[in-house]
Each structure stands twice: as C-alpha cells, then as structure tokens.
Amino acid sequence: MMKFLRIVAIAIFFHIVMNMFMPWWNIFIAGLIAGYFSRTTALKTMATVFLALSFYWIILILKIDSGNDHILSSRLAELMSISNSNVFIMINGIIGGLCGAVGSQVGFYMRKIVKKIKSEEGAEEMNTDDYMKTQPEWRDADLM
C-alpha cells in the first residue's frame, strides 16, 4: 500500500509542478519519474501511474470545465460526434493516463538499464587479484 501511495504521490506531484511551466506532454515526464523511482513490478507501476494520472486529469478537466459552465467540453464533444460531454472528459482522462503509463514504463526500464550498467562497471574495474580474494581457499587446494 505504501509503494502504491508513493508512486501516486510522485506522479501527481511532478505533474502539478511541471504543469506550471510546461505544456500538456509533461505527463510523460511525470510518469517517467514515477516509474524510475518505483520499486514494484512493471505492470503494477504502469497500472498505478495510469490510475493516478487518469483520475488527476479528470479532476483537472472538470475543474477547468466548470469554470466556463461546461460550454467548452460540450462543444468539443459535439465537434467529435460524441453524444455526451462526460464521455469526452472520460476519454481525455484515459488518454492522459495512457501517456503517463507509457512514461512510467520508460522510467521503469531506464532504471533497470542504469542498474545493469553500474553493475557491469563494477565488474570491469575488479582486477584478477581482487577476484581471487573473493574465491574460497579450498578451490586453490583442489587444483594442486
């Protein structure tokens, strides 16, 4: 539960902060950051970020839409041949959630790549003397 809440908090926090300075696509970056710092599986990370950012976007759209008495969403829904403006808002929330989920997968696998590169660098820096120190003594005795 704490991992879930941590991912949700990271995703929403970074989206709110970046939303002040960047256009809508910052949701990818917020998802990337949440995915990078996630400590769960790839599927759980994707689902968590999707749900968190979908709900946040729906709330944000409803807040903006209520400021103009739902005129903008109803006209855009009509323009796209959608019967109800609420369906239009839900579709936009799903799109926002999918964008964040894609970003979370990039961040999740980027962390795995960075971790792998760091472990390979550590292996390359170890010379043969250091390697021999890590081996048990009995192996040397069996060879003689």
pTM over 0.85? The answer is: no
Residue 16, in any domain of the structure: yes
Shortest CA distance to 95 belongs to which of 105, 106, 103, 83? 103
**Number of compact structural domains in the chain:** 1
Residue 91, in any domain of the structure: yes
Q: Could you tell me the residue range of the domain that residue 69 belongs to?
A: 2-107
pLDDT tens digits, residue range 68-122? 888 888 898 889 998 888 999 999 999 999 999 999 999 999 999 988 888 877 6
Q: Give backbone dihedrals phi and psi of 59, rounded to 5 degrees, phi first.
A: -65, -45
Residue 47, in any domain of the structure: yes
Shortest CA distance to 53 belongs to which of 111, 2, 13? 13
Residue 125, in any domain of the structure: no
Residue 136, in any domain of the structure: no
Virtual CA dihedral for 12, 15, 16, 17, nearest 10 degrees?
120
pLDDT at 38 over 60: yes
pLDDT at 133 over 70: no
List of E strands, 11-80: none
pLDDT for residue 7: 83
Residue 124, in any domain of the structure: no
> In which band, very low, low, confident or very high, does the pLDDT at 57 lie, cut at 50, 70 and 90?
very high
